[in-house]
Each structure stands twice: as structure tokens, then as C-alpha cells.
Structure 1
């Protein structure tokens, strides 16, 4: 591998870490904007920006380095309590975060850096305001002679009307005070061989420690070999540095963020702490100053003495390794093949043979391997949800609306590939909900609602799919207006007969918008079209449910890329399908007359005094003979769906129960409603996996969009 390609690979790792740091920083700043200004949250944002700054300097990204350094300075003052993290300061830092993100993108894609002059001026203003406030703060010391303490004076608080700033003589005080001095930090740093081989530069760390007040006190060169044995990519030196004792330990450790984990890094207090210092203060004359708004009591010297900092044990750093996603995909496929081979083995062995070869133990171990490998690609959907609070604040500011966010199921894990592709659909759905769904505070009050609208984000796994929904409690879809706009734009004809669900689906047509004018939020008719096309490209589906005056819900059903599914093998006209056990409530062999026809195309089953709709699986897929099978010769499986509730699915027979591997259909076929994937059974044949929610629910979107409009 050439030197340039090695450097590109290392820079690629740096930009991946930048993306992770930006995510952490955005979550922290969003928490601060929501009122959480705890030390841990602020420190997390500081460390994220500090890491980006350190890497940018190592790779020569000057513009990114300069901006992140200035941003870091402000965060350091906020962390130290010198700048209060109020609403205005937090908003400035959120704006600075946007500019920092643009700098990272410019450095990554080698484009011109953003114009950050205005943002730098705002950051400098925060620093200058802090310095000015400290410089201008008056200090008043009030001494009273009648009763003297150990130091010869007592602080007095007098009523403001009796306070005379010129009513006492200057006081001269000479003190010998024993003050606590924290032991200095001692740092030992020895880079690993791998660090130098990958282009690491230890002197950058040394210089950063020196800039913090550190001094190199020793360099151990005992491991240095003779010249003929010298390896230019090996490390032989160990530096020892002393740093001021009042420094924060975490600030020192932050300097080693980009150092290889197997390097020697020791941070500890010096074994021999300096003796307490006797500070001989020269006589101090306290001059009268202007009277403050209210009298201030003087601190006693004992209160001013520095407390001894708490020494925290070093936390063990988590060991991580970066792996290409293609290698994980290959590993996942191999584990899937292992599950299929176990299924083949189970089918070919009789029950006594299975017990003899301990097949259940083999299946259990295979399942554990599968679960662990799946977790390598799985990421909590919180990463996608974390961008929404910031987006809502900006949208609320632009529209003048009040919006409250509720999130459910943030820990639901989604495949990393799916997670990266749902960002745009989620953004457009949120913008659509705020701009078109949520009413203004005045309109909501007039409608008898709270002035604050609510947007609810939820995620959960159901069978072979991840269900992500965005709902609002706004005014719902104005179907009369939507239909009129569709006719105006030529998407449908004026005499077209459409159901409510089909009218709702029109908002996903290319170029469709009900906005009267184009704004920064909407009006171009590309938002919901992006939602539909992106989700369908993933092999998913979009459903829209709206109630006028109550709100609208958008549901994205996304496939799992690969997973083991507990399934029931059923037959429809001699074809085998897999029905997820997670959807199964019970199975019934109907008695004569238990299934009744309510129309030529609909049937119900009487079950414990209630009636449930029945759907014939063969008719749903259009397979088999025209003659309808007698219900008594079939099996009805009561399944539970999200949209249709409990429904009876009629199948011919049930073969057995199996753990199957879900294989996605999107790479080779277009999405098929009612199918969630495919699998390979023990005999080597292919079986399709049923998507119960899509199969038994009434079709919410039957509209087909074309370049010229809507097809019948």
C-alpha cells in the first residue's frame, strides 16, 4: 500500500470519528437547549469538539482547526463556569455547531471552507463579554474594629442607608497564611510502535501539553538501539512531564484522544507533593470604592484558600476496532448460511438421531452467534431521532408555532444501512407536520386545543419489520383542498373517483404541494415524494392515516436486513410460506357453519361470541383454482396486525415451526405488498415470508404515480 493511500485510510478514520463527535456534540447542545446544563453534558460537548480540533491539526486542515479551536475556547469557559450557559449562549453554540459541521464536510470533500467570520465574531463577543464582566466587577471589603478575629478584622454587613463608602480609614493587613497547594501532575507518555507506523506524531501531544503549562522533565532513551538496529517506524522514547496541580485530570487525558490505545499513558499526582507554602503577603491597602447596590461582606482568608482537588481514578478506556461494513455483511451472510444448514440437518435426521447428535444445543449456539453478529451492525434509532429536537426548535422559530416532541422506542435497534437512509424521510415528515399539520396557537385555542402542538416519534420492531411513525395532533389532511390541487396540477382528472385513503396518498405525488408560496420549509412539492421514493427503495412502505381536526400519522414499515425469525410454515395451494409467530394468536380448525359469507367477497368467523374478518391467503396472492375451498377443510390462523387488529388468515395446512433466516427481496425484486422477504428451507427450497400488517390490512395506497400523473 502506498503512503498516500495509507494517509487517506487514516483520514477516513478521522472523518468517521468526526461524524461520531458531531453526533455527541449535537445531542449535548440539544440537551442544553432543553435545560440540562449539567457538568457532564457540557463536558461531553467540549470533549467532542476538542477531539475534532486535535485530529484536524494532525491532518493539516487549517480552517477546521482554527474554527474548532475558537469554539473550544468558548466551551472551556462555559465548562469552567465563567460563561453562563443561558438560552442566548446555547443558541450561539448551536449556530457554531452548524458552522463546525460545514467545516468538517468541506475538509472531507475538499471543498472551500464556509465563511465563518460572522460566527467567529459572535464567539469572540462571548469571550470578551466574559472578560469585561470579570474586570468590571467591583469588590468592596468592609472592616470593623471593635471585635477582632484571629486575623484582626471582622466582616460587617450594614444597612444600605447607613453605609458611608468614605467613613473609614484604609486598613493595612500583613498576613502569614498557610495555604494548601495541590500536588503537580506527572505524565509519562510512550507511543506504541503502531502509532508511528500509521503516521502518528508524538510531538504534537507533547506540544499540546506544554501549551497547557507542562514542562518536559525527563526523556527515557534506554530502549534506543544502535544505529544499525534502528527502525524508523518504531518508538523508543518515553517522555515525563510535570503539569500544574490545579489542572483538571480529564483535560490532560483529552490530549491523548488520537493516541493508539496500546501506548504508555500514565497520569498521576507526583509522589512527593510540595510542602504547604507560607505566603507572605505584603501590606495591602484597601481603598474605598463606590458603594455597591447592596453591601458585600468580605471573605475571610480561610475561605479564600484553595481546596485540595479530588483525585479521580483513571477510567479504563473501552477497546474498539473499526471494521469495514462489507466484511460484516459477509460475516452475517455466513452465519445465515449456518442457520440454513442446521435446518437442513434437522429435516434429514429423525428425532432419535437429533437427540443423539445434540442438535438442540447446536441450534441454540447458532442462535447466540447470530444474535451477537447482528448486534455488530445494529444501531439504536436514537441516532436518527436526536436530530429532531434541534429541527423542531428552528421550525417553531420560523413559523411562530409551539411544538412539543414526544419520543417512544429510542432504543429500538435498526441496521446501520437502514438508519443512514431514513434521515431524509424523517426530516421531510417532521417539516410537513409542523408546516401543514400543526395549527398556529390562535387556531388551536379557537379549536379548543392546547396552544402547543404535539409531534410523536415512535419506533418498534414487529416481526420482520421496523415500524417508524410520525404523528401530530394538528388539523389533519384537508382532502377537499388536496383533491382540488391535484386536479389543478393535472395529477388526476376532475371526474376521478377516489377514496379518502387514495386522496391522502396524493400528497406523495411528485411535485404536489398545497402551499400557497415557496418558503424555506415547503412549497416545491418534493418533500413527501422523497419520503415515498426513499422508503420504497429500501423495500419498505409508507402508510398515511388522517382524521380531520385530530391529526395525521405517517407510518414507515422498513425491512430488517438480516435476522432469524421464529416462523410457522404454512401451505397455500402446495406452495409454502413462512408466517411470523410474533403475529400468531391462535389456530382454529373451523366447524361447519362457523365461517359465514357476508358478501360474495367477504367472510367472517364466529369466535366466542364475536365475529372476526377472514381473508383467504390463496386469494390474496391470486393463486390456486377458481373453486373456493371449504373452510372446514382449511386452517384459520388468528393473527394480530397493527392496522386491522385481529384477523383470521385461511391457509390449507400447517407444516411445522422453524427458525428461518430473512433474506431481503429488494436487491432482486421490486417491493411486493404482503411479503417481507424470503428464506431457504431445510430441503433447499425457497419460501416467501409473509408481512402480516401489509397483507391483512386494507390497502392504504393504491395510487400509482407516473411521469404524467396518476394511473388508474
Structure 2
């Protein structure tokens, strides 16, 4: 019987990535405080090696063998897992990461540190040969004679495990005599070639422990009956000789054994298991396709709902009742499907313990990382795309925010600084915070740099938040010197751009000598958005509810002209830019009127900038499916996507960050000003 093992490669490689993360986190905990589960760390390495050997990734198996040997000596207490040894093991994790990535991308791995790291592992172990456990949990050391029974369930091969590979791995532990029992093999007419009907007994003479033997069967403990029994201890080890595997076949029993006996045998090998949650791995594109289909269903429901609203409810009560029930089921189905793509943010947070450790070591600082809300869930795409902005923020916090130990002590702080990552829900959004207890942002230094670069005007009044937002401009940096970590003014603008592309925003809170907090707000998902349908002229647009602060019917005199035909609106004593959506997209107002009191002003906010967006009419809230337009058309500033309305028309989804940027280019870039701190001249300019 031959099975194509390549069909299981992707599953193994995904599990290898998870095991590698567990291995790395365990080593970091071991290095940090010595409080780590060595058995769990060893199992992670053993799982990577065992799977690699089973599925033919020999380079991964061979390299991991060296890691496993070092960890094994650490478990035996025959090797001190010092900081130097742990550093080598962390280097090995990097090499393994490259080997696994190369296997996933079906390419040859680059050598880089591989050979040097392999030699370092060998040097740690002396001659590089794994030595037997001298005194493990079982008590005495020396050679042992073990009897091992391995009774796989018939469907074991369907899980991707090859029993012959398992037996070969077992044979490497010592001198083994193996006996196969084929009495359960059915007749040729009844034989199912995908099932397994053999079981084995082995006599193993070894220096290894019962735990080592059980580790060989780590992948198949749920698919087989396994017993390991020490039957004798051998005082003197025999002379070294090549390991042999002697296969002994028992005399064949009658293959035409009664049917009830065979069934009894099969039942015996498959004991009842306790109920447990089952998982399956599904390709991402299948989930994406399912979400797209649900999106189409949401659109179709909107069309049905709009058409049914034109029908007399009293004359067709069942129709309206069915539409309402359909709305409920559609929403429930949508939420259930969207939940499939939700992942805990721990997948993004897991990369930071190692990065914080390496960056702090390079800069000569002492930094610990603390995470909160690791199980907060986000859409898979959001998690993948937020990882890089978070990496830049954490690296900047360590480089610019955290002081060297001497400086911290001078300000009465502990030598070890803390960087925190936190995630939590707020309304329909997920909030992510990056905090540090460093020196904080220097407002005066930021203002000076902003003035030098022409971002701020002398004499203008700026709020703290406006000043802190200067750091997100391209090329803005107050670093005294450039390092290979940061300081070139490249990156923070990309951080904000990437967060905005996810429909989120970022704000800053800081206190001198106390620390800085970056607060990121993100939508739970990118596929469906709750928005307000608005009309401007003959066009209908969707504005995300998240960005709408309030809507106001302007009164006469509330909107004033300033500068070169720019307009501002007085909102409870503060002036904010007044932007006509019809002018942004060069369309006509619906009734030809240009008077503010004839329309609606929506007070909207993006990146802590507010404007009054002037439209003809509010049409009500809508839940819409976002469709990208950049795949077929060029990107339009101020438009984030499109959707299909209930009447079949296409409507643009407004990107308020783009609208504000366009408005600023047209002169509407005034900071909000309090009337009691300024006066309006005849020309309409603010004078502080």
C-alpha cells in the first residue's frame, strides 16, 4: 500500500510554524527567568523533527535533531542551559524558520547561519552524539530491556502517518527485534487497501527511557494502542555494534477467520474516546469565496427588501414577514461566516517577544514585554496587515522611547523598562495599544522640527494631538543619530497609511518621563461595513458610521467664508473646515441651491481632523459589502471602494482621510480655533 504523502505537506508545515513559535517562546521564557517547561520545549522540537522525517523534509529533520539533542541533555540535567546555550538555540530557531519557509515556498533554503549554528550545537554536545539519560524520571540509568506493543487503528494511514517510519525511528533507540502479527488481514475479496490490519510487538534493548519511547509515538497516540514495559535492567552495556532490526513473522493464522472475530479484533483496537472539539484545516481561498457569496446574499436581500417596501404591507403581510425573517437569517449567517475568518491577535503578538529581546540587546537596554487581551479576535487579513505597523511602533518605542538603564535610574525608574501590547473591544471596533514607560515625546522638540520642515507656522496655535501627529509625516524624525534600528524618518508615515488602509486610525498620548501610548482603532472585518447612505446631487454615497460624529442642519450665518473662498463652520464656538461633497467630486447639487441651510452638514473625523461634510440629504443607515475598484480602475482619492445598493445602482464608499487631504490642498487646512482666543477680520482670516 502506497500513499501520496505530499498531500499532507502543507498541513505539516503549518503545524511546524506553530511548533516553532512554541519552541521560541519557551526558550525566551527559559532565558528570561529560567521558568519554562523543558518537556514542552522538547516536545515542540520533537514534533518538528518527527513530522519532517515522516513527510520527507530531511534537512529539517537533520537540523532539528541537533536542537533536540541539546534540549534532551538539558532535561537530563547533564547540560546547563545557560544564557549562551539558549542564545545558540534561538539562532537555531531562526535557521529552522528559514528551512520551513523554504519548504513552504518550494525553494532551496539559503545557508547563511545554518552550518555555523549546526557546528555550535555539536560543540555544545561535545562529540555531537546524543548520550543516554543518566538518571531520568524512571530512576536508575544503564541498559534496559523493554517490551513494546504497537496496535494501530485500521484508519491510521488516512491520517498521513506511516507506521514503517515510526518503527524505523523506534529502531534508532537501540537494538530491536520486531514481530508482526497479520492474523487480522482479511481475504483478498474483503481487503480494503487504504486500511491497516497489522500490529507489532518489539523487544528493545536501549539506554533510553520509557518517555523517549513514547515520544516516538507522539503523533499517533490517538490512533493506536501503545504499551511500553521495562522487563529487565542490564548492568553492563554491551559492546558497541551496528543497530539491527530483526523482523520475525509469526505463523499465519487462518485468514478466513470468522467475521465476528475480526470485528471483535477491530473493535478492541478502537476504544471509545471522550467527546472532543473537532477541527479541520480549510484553504483560505475557500473561506474567502464563501464570504463573497454571503456578501452577494446581503446585496440580494437589500434589493428584495427595497422592492418589497413598495408593496402594500396590509395587502401582503406574509411577504413582509418573510422579508424580515430573511433579514434575520441573513445577518445570522453573515456573522457565522465572518467568525470563521476571526483569529486571536496572539498570532500577531507572538512575533514580539523575540524581537523585543534582540532589539533591546543590540541597543544595550533592558526591556520586558507584557501583553494583554491576547484572545481578542480580528479578521485574518487585518491581523496579517497590522503586524508590520505594530513591529515598527514597538521597535521605535525601544529605540527612541526607552532610556538606557543609567538614565532610567537617574529619573527614579527601574533599570528594566516595560513595553506593553494590549487589545480589547470598544463598540464595533478593536483597539490595540502600544505602551512604553520611557521618556515620552518632547513637544517643544517636535514643534521646532515641524516648523523647520514647514509643517507648522510660527504663531499658530496647535493642540497636543496635532503636534504629535507631525511624526506621521514622511521624513519626520527628531533622532540625534541614525541607527540600523530607526531614526531616518522612514516608516511612521507608512504606519499611518497602512492603518488607514484597514479603515482604522491611530492616536497618541504621552507624558514626559512617564511614557507614550499609541492607540489604534480597527474595524473587526474588512468585508462588510455599516454606513450612512447620503445623497449629493443625483449620486448616492456611503459614509462609514465609524467616522460620523453628528449631523447638523446649518443655520444662516453659521458657515463663513475665509481666505480665498474657503469656508468654515462654527460648531459650538470652534471653527472647522466646511467641505461641499459636490465640489470634491465636481457634481451638481440636487436642487441647484448652494445655501448651507438647504442641506445637511455631517461632522466627520479621520485621524483627529474634523470637517463638516455638506450633502443634500441623509438616506439612512445601510450595511454594505465593500467591493474593490482598484482591480479594474485607477485609485480615486477620497474613495475606498464601491458597493451595490438595493436598487442595483453602484455607490462609492467615501474615504474621509482622502476627502480631508483633498480639502487641505484647496486651502481648508485651518486648525480649529476658539473665538475667545482669536478674532475674525473683515477679510475673514483668523488672527491669534
What is the TM-score normalised by the length of structure 2? Answer: 0.68
Structure 1 position 599, deviation (Å): 7.5
Show the counterpart of 2:255: none
Moved more, 556-565 or 411-420: 556-565
Give the Cα–Cα distance (whole angstroms) in 2 for the partners of residues 666 and 543 of structure 1.
28
Give the Cα–Cα distance (whole angstroms) in 2 for the partners of residues 212 and 338 of structure 1.
59
Show the counterpart of 2:48: 52
Instruction: Kindly indicate whether the alpha-carbon contact (under 8 Å) linking 2:508 and 2:518 is maintained by their aligned counterparts in 1.
Output: yes
1:466-615 pair list within 5 angstroms: 468-475=432-439, 519-522=483-486, 527-528=491-492, 531=495, 562-581=526-545, 596=558, 600=562, 601-606=567-572
Instruction: Kindly indicate whether the alpha-carbon contact (under 8 Å) linking 2:638 and 2:654 is maintained by their aligned counterparts in 1.
Output: yes
| Aligned residues: CA RMSD | 5.5
Q: Structure 1 residues 327, 556: closer, same or farther in 2, change over 3 A?
A: same
Question: How big is each residue's C-alpha offset from its partner over 1:689-710, in whole Å with a ceiling of 9 and x where there is no partner?
Answer: 4567x589x879979xxxxxxx
Show the counterpart of 2:224: 265
1:168-179 pair list within 5 angstroms: none
1:249-398 pair list within 5 angstroms: 252=214, 255-257=217-219, 264-267=223-226, 319-350=278-309, 351=313, 353=316, 355-356=318-319, 357-398=321-362
Instruction: Kindly indicate whether the alpha-carbon contact (under 8 Å) linking 1:617 and 1:651 is maintained by their aligned counterparts in 2.
Output: no
Give the Cα–Cα distance (whole angstroms) in 2 for the partners of residues 117 and 54 of structure 1.
21
Give the Cα–Cα distance (whole angstroms) in 1 for the partners of residues 629 and 473 of structure 2.
25
Instruction: Kindly indicate whether the alpha-carbon contact (under 8 Å) linking 1:616 and 1:651 is maintained by their aligned counterparts in 2.
Output: no
Give the Cα–Cα distance (whole angstroms) in 1 for the partners of residues 545 and 415 of structure 2.
44
Give the Cα–Cα distance (whole angstroms) in 1 for the partners of residues 15 and 130 of structure 2.
33
Give the Cα–Cα distance (whole angstroms) in 1 for the partners of residues 642 and 424 of structure 2.
21
Structure 1 position 182, deviation (Å): 14
Show the counterpart of 1:26: 24
Question: 1:320 aligns to what SS in structure 2?
Answer: coil
**Which residue of 177, 181, 184 corresponds with 1:219?**
181
Give the Cα–Cα distance (whole angstroms) in 1 for the partners of residues 196 and 297 of structure 2.
47
Instruction: Kindly indicate whether the alpha-carbon contact (under 8 Å) linking 1:185 and 1:243 is maintained by their aligned counterparts in 2.
Output: yes
Instruction: Kindly indicate whether the alpha-carbon contact (under 8 Å) linking 1:541 and 1:556 is maintained by their aligned counterparts in 2.
Output: yes
Structure 1 position 330, deviation (Å): 1.3
Show the counterpart of 1:656: 620
Show the counterpart of 1:145: none
Question: How big is each residue's C-alpha offset from its partner over 1:603-633, in whole Å with a ceiling of 9 and x where there is no partner?
Answer: 3445xxxx67777564597364682321xx5
Structure 1 position 414, deviation (Å): 3.2
Give the Cα–Cα distance (whole angstroms) in 2 for the partners of residues 587 and 250 of structure 1.
69
Q: Does 1:208 align with 2:208?
A: no
Show the counterpart of 2:390: 426
Structure 1 position 464, deviation (Å): 8.1
Show the counterpart of 1:240: 200
Give the Cα–Cα distance (whole angstroms) in 2 for the partners of residues 184 and 701 of structure 1.
81
Q: Structure 1 residues 506, 8: closer, same or farther in 2, change over 3 A?
A: farther
Instruction: Kindly indicate whether the alpha-carbon contact (under 8 Å) linking 2:578 and 2:614 is maintained by their aligned counterparts in 1.
Output: yes
Q: Which consecutive unaligned segments of at least 5 residues does structure 2 have?
A: 136-143, 236-271, 666-688
Show the counterpart of 2:243: none
Instruction: Kindly indicate whether the alpha-carbon contact (under 8 Å) linking 1:614 and 1:649 is maintained by their aligned counterparts in 2.
Output: no
Show the counterpart of 2:584: 622
Structure 1 position 110, deviation (Å): 1.0
**Which residue of 11, 15, 38 corresponds with 1:17?**
15
Q: Does 1:681 align with 2:641?
A: no
Q: Structure 1 residues 682, 70: closer, same or farther in 2, change over 3 A?
A: same
Q: Structure 1 residues 529, 564: closer, same or farther in 2, change over 3 A?
A: closer
Give the Cα–Cα distance (whole angstroms) in 1 for the partners of residues 294 and 558 of structure 2.
46
Q: Structure 1 residues 679, 482: closer, same or farther in 2, change over 3 A?
A: same
Give the Cα–Cα distance (whole angstroms) in 2 for the partners of residues 25 and 620 of structure 1.
57
Q: Does 1:67 align with 2:26?
A: no
What is the TM-score normalised by the length of structure 1? Answer: 0.66
Give the Cα–Cα distance (whole angstroms) in 2 for the partners of residues 202 and 459 of structure 1.
44
Question: 2:391 aligns to what SS in structure 1?
Answer: helix
Give the Cα–Cα distance (whole angstroms) in 2 for the partners of residues 234 and 444 of structure 1.
66
